[in-house]
Amino acid sequence: MRRAVALLVGCVLGAAPAGAAPVIAALAPSDDAREVVLVGPAGEVYRPDGNGGWVRTQPITTAGMVAHAGRAGGAIVAIADGIVYRLAANGWSALRLVQKGKAVMSTGSRAIAAVGRQLFALDAAAGGEPTKLAVAPAAVLAIGAGASALTIATERGLYRYEGRGFKQVPRAPRRVDRLVGDRWAIVDGALVELPTGKRPRLPAGVSLAVAAPGPDGPVAAGSGPDGPVLVRVKAGKVDVTALPATLRGATAVGVVADKAGRVLVAFQNGRLVLRDRDAWSEAAVRVELPAPRPGRPPAREGASAP
């Protein structure tokens, strides 16, 4: 029987070996940077603990390796090995978009998915079935979603969608490393404004890894000659701030800025930095899982019998 949502993962013991240091793969943004939810490479979920840290308390994972995460109608979603998952109270649920084919998904607060040329809105009310949004001119390779518009990357180039068909983006770069919302992209470690083709000038030696739309312009994190940096662009002006030296060599995997001026940067090694009113604080994720219950582990749907 066809099901709109196939429950693939419930409470499953974490994939990482006992005692292994936590690793972060992506973040699901929030209107308050202090309320961001972090996701590990196997779908481990780290939530704010209310005391400035993040903690994993549920032994849940996905069936594949997480590439991106985002929000859809308030729900947390992630994509792992071409499958889109929605987070519920008891674990991750795989969303059925089409019968066959691997999906791609945008990040940010309005997650959109695509399989081939078909685009889907994931923010269905009450966790319902994803809805078809549009059919793209060519197979979708990447998506950047804004509040009311989309930019997609295809083999034919970039296209913009505002609800009334797709229009090719003029002056767009031939390829992008990462779409940042519907208006920006990272290309060769630099930000590009897609409507104009302009590239804000970065200091020599600065290369960006991740970025996100901010209240006044994009915010990004990457590396510089002396260590990791935070980059903010506002009205064409670039502000570069050095991050704490203790993070030298760490790889940024996500960044978010809120309307109150706070910025959170998450790193692959489980470290985080929060900027609040020009003051920096550091935090690290931790694991506090319940003791394993005796007996056989919970079964996964579709798993073969031993």
- Look at residue 125 and give its three-state secondary structure: helix
Tell me which long-range contacts 263-269 makes (C-beta under 8 A, separation of at least 24): 263/33, 263/219, 263/230, 263/232, 264/27, 264/33, 264/34, 264/36, 265/221, 265/228, 265/230, 266/24, 266/27, 266/36, 266/38, 267/24, 267/228, 268/23, 268/24, 268/25, 269/21, 269/23, 269/24
pLDDT at position 7, please? Answer: 40
pLDDT at position 277, please? Answer: 85
pLDDT at position 14, please? Answer: 43
Which residues in the chain show pLDDT less than 70? 1-19, 124-127, 295-306
Q: Please indicate, yes or no, if residue 292 is contained in any of the structural domains.
A: no
Q: Which residues contact 249 (CB under 8 A, 6 or more apart)?
A: 227
pLDDT at position 5, please? Answer: 36
Query: Tell me, what CATH number does 90's domain have?
Result: 2.130.10.10
Look-up: residue for tokens 């090694």?
Answer: 269
pLDDT at position 269, please? Answer: 96
Q: Please indicate, yes or no, if residue 294 is contained in any of the structural domains.
A: no
Residue 285 φ/ψ, nearest 5 degrees: -80, 155
Structural domain total, the chain: 1
Give per-residue pLDDT as tens, 193-217: 999 999 999 999 999 999 999 999 9
Helix (H) or strand (E) holding 149: none
pLDDT at position 1, please? Answer: 32
* Alpha carbons 160 and 150: distance in angstroms, whole number: 6
Task: Give residue 183's domain range.
Answer: 5-287
Q: Please indicate, yes or no, if residue 295 is contained in any of the structural domains.
A: no
* Alpha carbons 125 and 69: distance in angstroms, whole number: 19
Q: Which two tokens stand for residue 3?
A: 């099901």
Q: Please indicate, yes or no, if residue 221 is contained in any of the structural domains.
A: yes
Instruction: Determine contact, residues 219/210, Cβ cutoff 8 Å.
Output: no
Give per-residue pLDDT as tens, 59-80: 999 999 999 999 998 899 999 9
Instruction: Determine contact, residues 180/214, Cβ cutoff 8 Å.
Output: no
Look-up: residue for tokens 């760490």?
Answer: 250
Q: Please indicate, yes or no, if residue 296 is contained in any of the structural domains.
A: no
Fill in the DSSP letter of residue 63.
Answer: S
The number of beta carbons lying within 10 Å of the beta carbon of residue 137 is 16
* Alpha carbons 161 and 164: distance in angstroms, whole number: 7
pLDDT at position 10, please? Answer: 42
Q: Please indicate, yes or no, if residue 70 is contained in any of the structural domains.
A: yes
List the alpha helices (DSSP H) in 139-254.
none
Q: Please indicate, yes or no, if residue 250 is contained in any of the structural domains.
A: yes
Residue 70 φ/ψ, nearest 5 degrees: -170, -170
pLDDT at position 295, please? Answer: 66
Helix (H) or strand (E) holding 98: none
Q: Please indicate, yes or no, if residue 134 is contained in any of the structural domains.
A: yes
CA neighbor of 113 nearest in space, from 124, 121, 102:
121
Question: What's the whole-model pTM score?
Answer: 0.88
